[in-house]
Structure 1
């Protein structure tokens, strides 16, 4: 890993492209994992949730189970970083999601105007996830694709929450605010995170001092009409 890649957030494609139903895989995991060892995203055909952890890519399918991906498989959208945390704190005695987010905000180095990677490792009192089901061509718009998502509830589970904070003014490039996924310590289940309470563990943070965006180099992407005036509201609806 070169020094230039430390604390650089690399992103392939955009949320705006997903709103426009650009669900076909356009980068291999072999190429993606050169850019980072931690991250999140989705899979070819919008088939579930992507978790990149310790340099390995896992697909969380709509059955809630996790599967290790092969280098030649692809994703249409992913964000990854070489995780070099510079800030951390311990959780003991339990903290809610809101309490953890408040403590993160207390760090002067974490500005709401920059990206940062976050990783929570430990035992969670509860975790709630959802997983988008595989889509078939012709692809529906994002807001339709996410209307029927199975949800999963975990209790007293060991695992890792990871992902990124995106500044609000980058909505459309990414997801404004926290965008986090979960995977169990056994790496056999997980999903897109929407609620959690942590019992004990470690919270690590890595401010991202550089951002690199790569657009898909496909004819389908080049010819798509992604100028959607409802893009921001569609992303907010899909995420909430």
Structure 2
């Protein structure tokens, strides 16, 4: 039997293969560049609707794994209102009503969270001791756009921190958060280092979000945290990322579809934010 000798690909075929290979590399590069550009667009992403969550929608529906696609910095709530949620440097932590703070698995879900890819464009050093009210007044003096969307990261030494967390709910129908203030557990810390993760959001975003200031705390050793109730800051550094857009994904659940949005929950939101009835 006569054997056939395979000849090497012709020059035109080789050129086509090289061209295809180079185009594939170029397409991959453009795709990655587009993803990177999208990641850094200073966008606030919300999984859920604030007033609906505060009104009692505590069942988890949005995967943490998906949340990472929209941010590395933010706050929210764990499943079944089991404590307080914080995201810092892309890592998620939960502070339970027992005070225990632990790292969260990306396999879990949240009923409500807001995140962004944090990239500071301004840095401030107050260089003096500040109470919570004084801190907010200082922030107001530098965040002067009343309709601006600001992500705020505060790191440093605190003379005093008071936080809170709610215990998990167990049975439907769930009560609104403002009706469960007597179930809060408070935690107090003296002379502690850590981070505040939060936002200052404008009034026109009220309802879909919580307008004004909203911060969660995480200690340097990652052993303490919670929603901020009160504080005295000693030596802190304030980093600000000015956001220019916001997007939202809503739960596709019967509870959300039947939720009554006609009720004005502004006072409820204030009570929940401050940890006491207004």
CA distance in 2, matches of 1:185, 1:91: 20
Which 5+ residue runs of structure 1 have no aligned equivalent?
none
CA distance in 2, matches of 1:20, 1:81: 24
Change (3 A) 1:165 1:95: same
Unaligned runs of 5+ in 2: 1-34
> Which 4+ stretches in 1 moved above 3 angstroms?
none
Corresponding residue of 1:126: 160
Structure possessing the higher relative contact order (Cα contacts under 8 Å, 6 or more residues apart): 1
Contact 1:94 1:198 (8 Å CA) reproduced: yes
Higher share in strand: 1
- Which residue of structure 2 lines up, in the alignment, with residue 16 of structure 1? 51
The CA RMSD over aligned residues, in Å, is 1.6
1:67 lines up with 2:88 in the alignment: no
Distance 2:262 2:221 in 1: 40
Contact 2:52 2:259 in 1 (8 A): no
Query: What corresponds to 1:234 in structure 2?
Result: 268
What TM-score do the two structures reach when normalised by structure 1? 0.93
The Cα of 1:133 is off from its aligned counterpart by 1.3
For 1:98 and 1:17, how far apart are their aligned partners in 2?
28
Tell me by how many angstroms 1:93 deviates.
Answer: 4.2
Q: Over residues 193-234 of structure 1, what are the superposed CA-to-partner deviations in whole Å (9 max), with x where a residue is unaligned?
A: 021111113110111101011111233322x22224232222
Larger radius of gyration: 2
Tell me the CA shift for residue 23 of structure 1: 0.4
- Show the 5 A alignment for 1:20-99: 20-99=55-134
Task: Identify the residue that residue 183 of structure 1 maps to in structure 2.
Answer: 218
Please, what TM-score do these two structures have when normalized by structure 2?
Answer: 0.81
